[in-house]
Amino acid sequence: MGKPSIFSREYERKMKRRRNTIIFSIIIILLVSVGVIFNTKAIKFLSYAKNSITSIFAKDKNKEADKNSTKEDTTKQESNSAETNQPTTTNKEEAVQEKSMDIKLSNGEVLKAIYEGDGSNRVYKFVSGSSNAGNAEINPSSKLILVMDNLTQDIKTYNTDGKETVITKPEYVTSKGESFPKDKMLSTYSGYVWCKDARFIDDSHIAYLSQLPYFGTGELDTYVWIIDLGTGEHKAVWNLKGKNVSLGNLKDGGIQVAIDNNTSLLMPDGNVTPQ
């Protein structure tokens, strides 16, 4: 079969088909080229976006890590500070640790004085173990203990060094100079009250009850006496006497005294005010 003539219809159909094929191929090539270019840019854009987002999250994460690190450091510092201060607290507790001192009465019983500190810094807290054989109390400044030994009728004090001092009046001397020793009077008159119920009025004055200056075995009056710890003087309060006398509570700088159902306020200087 021969070639178709260029003027035949068959030739025109073939040329048109070829032309269409070429055009379609060019379009396909252009589309593929555009797709490749677009995909490359899209990939670059997506990669850039991804890197930017990752960078932002990384910065936030680093900031959060820095905050957590700061909190941990602060917590550690506070913890270390607390641990450092703990021994100081322990040392303070040790510095004020309570101690005790035994006070022996004449019948062998023991009173126990509880205190804090040492020497001039000693502070007495309380005295335990009081009984019928004796009693004790602490002065208002907590620096001196007063002990009344009922068996021997002795008044004693204990200072911040624990030193015992007997402040009982050893004898009674009349205005004429006649002496009546305590031990002799107690052995002569059974049941005689030389001194009893000693109480602090203030830091430097003590009140006690006594049947001095009179002696005997009958119904003697009881008097209130005051000891001045600064001078050691014993002084009778002559207008405070009776058959039933007792010392009460501290009040308004003095001590209450009950005498035969009447109450008065005794001041350290010996002044008396009816209540």
The pLDDT tens digits along the chain (275 residues) read: 454 555 556 666 767 777 777 776 677 777 766 554 555 554 554 555 456 545 544 555 555 555 555 555 555 555 554 444 554 545 544 556 889 999 999 999 999 999 999 999 999 999 998 778 898 999 999 999 999 999 999 999 999 999 999 999 999 999 999 999 999 999 999 999 999 999 999 999 999 999 999 999 888 999 999 999 999 999 999 999 999 999 999 999 999 999 998 999 999 999 999 98
Q: Is the peptide bond before 181 cis (omega within 30 degrees of 0)?
A: no
Confidence (pLDDT) at 83: 47
| pLDDT for residue 189 | 96
**Residue whose token pair is 């200072």:** 159
Structure tokens at 137: 């109390």
SS3 115: strand
Using DSSP bridges, classify how beta strands 222-228 and 154-158 pair: parallel, antiparallel or unpaired. Answer: unpaired
For residue 17, the SS3 value is helix
Domain ranges of the chain: 96-166, 169-275
CB-based burial of residue 68 (10 Å sphere; 0-12 exposed, 13-18 middle, 19+ buried)?
exposed
Query: For residues 138 and 115, is the Cβ–Cβ distance under 8 A?
Result: no
Query: Can you name the CATH fold of 169-275?
Result: Neuraminidase (2.120.10)
Compute the chain's Rg from CA coordinates.
54
- Decide the pairing of beta strands 154-158 and 145-149: antiparallel
